[in-house]
A and B are shown apart, each in its own frame.
Chain A
Amino acid sequence: MSHMTNPLATPDQLYQRRSFSALPTDLQDAIFFSTQCLTQAAGVLLQLPQAVAAQANVVLARYWLVEPFMSHEFSAVSAASLYLVAKLGPTPRSPRDVSNVYAYLLSASSSFFRSSSTTPPPANNPSSYYLSDGAYQRSHSRILELEARILYALGFNTHVSLPHPLAITYLQALDFLGTRKERIAGRALEYLNTALLSPQMLYLTSQPNALAVAAIYNAAKDVGAKMPECEWWEVFDVDREELGFLVVGMRSVEGWARKMREDIPRMAECMLTRRIVENEMERRGLHTGNGHGVSSAYTLDPEAELARKMDEKIAQIEEND
């Protein structure tokens, strides 16, 4: 029984995702980040507890380790994972509500993906997010289809245990809560929520106890709280190496996101879609598969890759003849 642990990604899964996807790494990361942000925003608008949105983030991240990014529209996968997780918990949301919220977030009226400092907030134009009956039916069917798809990809294992409650317990145990209680606890939770967006997929590579300890460590540093002078993380079964990795991983998300927004300006304007990603690939002169069949072309398995290399070699040799 595993109330406090999660199934983790295997090294193979991580390796496959990075090495055999035709999408360059920075685009993969951008898709991951913006879709996770979208899920969080939808969670807020659907008035779901953060626990539900966070679990949906984790389910989505797991799904994308099994299935290629380009096989379905990113926002649709986000909607389906949020719908699924909410349904399994005590706060289900109807497909109607989910469809409406996503239609709004993806519309021109939503200020979600616009950086507030540079542009004025968009005018609220209800017709831009009105969902016609046909559009709603399509959205509804897509959510149900992807729900089954996600379950299939995850082997029907939807168990996600979050580090947030553990972090609070650990803070109590460390007596951190005595001083500046809101600040340090709030900061730790901020780190945990930010880590959900990290394309390093921290929730898929570390157990909740390690995430909780790293978030507390970072929060205590930020607030300037005095930490115990011994290797206190070992009390919570985290070793120094893992803690170090997570501390850096959690701290780096903010800077990384800022840089990515500069590198891919489209990110700051709207939600990434498959079309935008395809256009970006073309602009870079990268192979995007043959139009509509992109989904399968984006992930090559190692064997196909080897076969392709051999073909090239043979062609080369033949030319030399």
Chain B
Amino acid sequence: MSTMAKSRWADDTDDAALEAQLKKEKEERKRQKADKARKLEEERLAREAAAAQAAKAASQGEQGEGGQDDANNAPRAKRRRLSPDRGTPAAGPAHESANSNSDSKLLRFEGGGTFGRCRSVENYDKLNDIEEGAYGWVARAQEAATGKVVALKRLKIDTTDRSGLPVTGLREIQILKDCDHRNVVKLQEVVVGEDTSRIENIFLVLEFVEHDLKSILEDMPEPFLASEVKTLLLQLASGVAYLHDNYILHRDLKTSNLLLNNRGQLKIADFGMARYVGDPPPKLTQLVVTLWYRAPELLLGAARYAQAIDMWSIGCIFGELLTREPLLQGKNEVDELTKIFELCGIPTEDSWPSFRRLPNARALRLPKTTTTKSLIRAKFPLLTSAGASLLNGLLALDPDCRPTAKDMLEHEYFRQDPKPKQEAMFPTFPSKAGQERRRRKTTPNAPIRGQAVELGAVDFSGIFSGRDKEERGGGFSLRMV
């Protein structure tokens, strides 16, 4: 047998011997473990007994029986130290107080989580493309293991860019990873392409939300009700308040970046422009925010700006929700400014004191004839006065005069009738991203000239078959199966 070339896995005596040996070893280990456990248990019992004894002795000592030195010493030696000062030779001064308040409860910082390799995109099955455009590629997909539907957003990578992965993409990932709020889209994880020898395909796994606000506005036959506008604005404000609370500027709020699910929940998405800013804010680039939603201080070249630029965008979105049309559709920066001044009035020393000091404002020639009064009230005649005052505030030319997101949540407008509609009562819409858009009933095309369609030998008799199985009733019949 030993001469034969045998398989390592062949079931022969060698294996049996090995198995026996392994088994023996295992049993030996088990025995040792049991021994150890028993010993520990014994020790514990002994310790408890000693402690109990000591406690008894101590209480006796308290009752005034003097001369029990060793008994009195025992509890001190045995006293339980929750956190032993091993290795802290210097931890002297606080020893005595250590016991008295060892029960104090420490507030723990919330754990920061862990880190580890990305998973592969192969864990997801693609369902359909959602959009492919300037923002890169987004698809609806399903996690194979759980069946959960998600949105996969591919990080756009320019391979000719010799500065590596795009910093905006990395910022977006970091900010979304840090955020946890019901009105901010959730990033589940980041996955990479199958070939991990070169990291070239990077996908963000985002929660799938059925709609974006822009396509809903474009498709809806009637504008949102006042109560619905309030619900949407409240959610938007609470999401933005969360971001601002955490030192995040979104810098690209617009209706196409606001998602809405079928439960009436609004979620802020697309953090490609977002970044963390300190307080006071550092110098930042002015090339942010889509033109139609860009605040006047950005257009005038302010290098230092803050949360108020997001509030301006919210104002533009507010107007758009009311009319279903973007509020200020400038063709370029100058045209945008003109449209802003037409709507909000020309800035004066009173309405925006620091305005003349902005870089692009010096060269600006303002028409003398146009009014310095805001036309917002006139443009939205159906808005209540509280609503108009909120919109006026959000679209204040002076960024310091705009309300913060927190102020906005407290605004009178949301307390007046009609009250904000409950999210659950929101109407639903066919989802473009979920490929429900084409639900529109397709009518057959007009007949094409030419040969008349021949029906051929079609048997229509089936239509009326089985009538004898029908229950006969008053006016109509039910078929019993």
A-side residues, CB < 8 A to B, are 1-10, 13, 62, 65-66, 83-84, 87-88, 90, 92, 94-95, 140, 143-145, 147-149, 151-159, 161, 207, 209, 217, 221, 227, 229-232, 234, 237-245, 247-248, 313-314, 317-318, 321
Q: Roughly how many angstroms separate A5 CA and B397 CA in the complex, as a whole number?
A: 39
What are 5 A-B pairs with beta-carbon distances under 8 A? A13-B116, A237-B109, A317-B18, A318-B2, A318-B14
Please list the residues of chain B having a beta carbon within 8 angstroms of any beta carbon in chain A.
2, 8, 14, 17-18, 21, 82-88, 90-91, 93-94, 97-98, 101, 104, 106-118, 162-165, 167, 170-171, 173-174, 177-180, 189-190, 192, 196, 198-200, 202, 246-247, 282
- CB-CB < 8 A to B173: which residues of A? 156
Q: A145 to B180, alpha carbons, bound, how many Å?
A: 31
Contact B170 A314 (CB under 8 A): no
Q: Which of A6, A8, A92, A237 meets B106, CB within 8 Å?
A: A237
Whether A209 pairs with B163 at a CB distance below 8 angstroms is no
Chain B residue contacts of A2, Cβ below 8 A: 110, 112-113, 178
Question: Hey, which chain A residues are within 8 Å of B8, CB to CB?
Answer: 314
A247 touches B178 (CB 8 A): no
CB-contact partner of B199 in A3, A148, A207, A244, under 8 A: A148
Q: Tell which of B91, B101, B171, B189 touches A155, judged by Cβ atoms closer than 8 Å.
A: B189
Q: Are B114 and A8 in contact (CB under 8 A)?
A: yes
| Complex-state Cα separation, A156 to B205, whole angstroms | 12
Chain B's nearest CB lies how many Å from the CB of A217? 8
Give the distance to chain B from A134, nearest Cβ to Cβ, in Å. 15
Residues on A with beta carbons closer than 8 Å to the beta carbon of B177: 156-157, 159
Q: Is the CB of A144 within 8 A of B2?
A: no
A11 to B104 alpha-carbon distance, docked (Å): 27
Measured CB to CB, the closest approach of chain A to B352, in angstroms, equals: 29
Interface centre among B162, B196, B282 (most CB of A within 10 A): B162
Docked complex Cα distance between A61 and B192 (Å): 22
CB distance from B117 to the nearest CB of A (A): 6
**Bound state CA distance, A237 and B108, in angstroms?**
6
Interface pair B106/A239, CB less than 8 Å apart:
yes
Query: Closest 3 A-B residue pairs measured CB to CB?
Result: A148-B199, A241-B83, A5-B112
Given A243-B88, A244-B87, A314-B18, decide whether A88 and B115 contact each other with a Cβ distance below 8 A.
no
Q: Which residue of B lies closest to A4 (CB)?
A: B109
Greatest chain A CB density within 10 A among B88, B190, B196, B202 is at B88
Q: Are A237 and B190 touching (Cβ within 8 A)?
A: no
Report if A66-B116 is in contact (Cβ < 8 Å); known contacts: A90-B282, A321-B2: yes
List, in ascending order, chain A residues with CB within 8 A of B202's CB: 156
Please report the C-alpha to C-alpha distance between residue A90 and residue B276 in the assembled complex, in whole angstroms: 10
Determine how close the nearest CB of chain B comes to the CB of A6; give it in whole angstroms.
Answer: 5
User: How many Å from the CB of B246 to the closest CB on chain A?
Assistant: 5
Query: Are A234 and B199 in touch, CB under 8 angstroms?
Result: no
Complex interface: chain A residues within 8 A of B83 (CB) = 239-242, 244
Residues on B with beta carbons closer than 8 Å to the beta carbon of A94: 163
Q: Are A152 and B93 in contact (CB under 8 A)?
A: no
Are B167 and A231 neighbours in the complex by a CB distance under 8 Å? no
Measured between alpha carbons, how far is A65 from B378 in the docked complex, in Å? 64
Q: Would A240 and B98 be within 8 Å (CB), given that A88-B171, A147-B164, A148-B199 are in contact?
A: yes
* Selected contact of A152 from candidates B82, B90, B117, B163, CB within 8 Å: B117
* Shortest CB distance A155–B (Å): 5
Assembled-state Cα–Cα distance A90/B114 (Å): 26
A35 to B122, CA, bound (A): 35
CB pair B246–A88 under 8 Å, yes or no, is: no
In the complex, the chain A residue whose C-beta lies closest to that of B157 is A148
| Residues in chain B near residue A232, CB distance under 8 A | 94
- Given A231-B97, A239-B83: A5 and B174 within 8 A (CB)? no
B14 touches A321 (CB 8 A): yes
Q: Contact between B171 and A7 (Cβ–Cβ < 8 Å)?
A: no
CA distance in complex: A247, B246 (Å): 32
B118 touches A155 (CB 8 A): yes
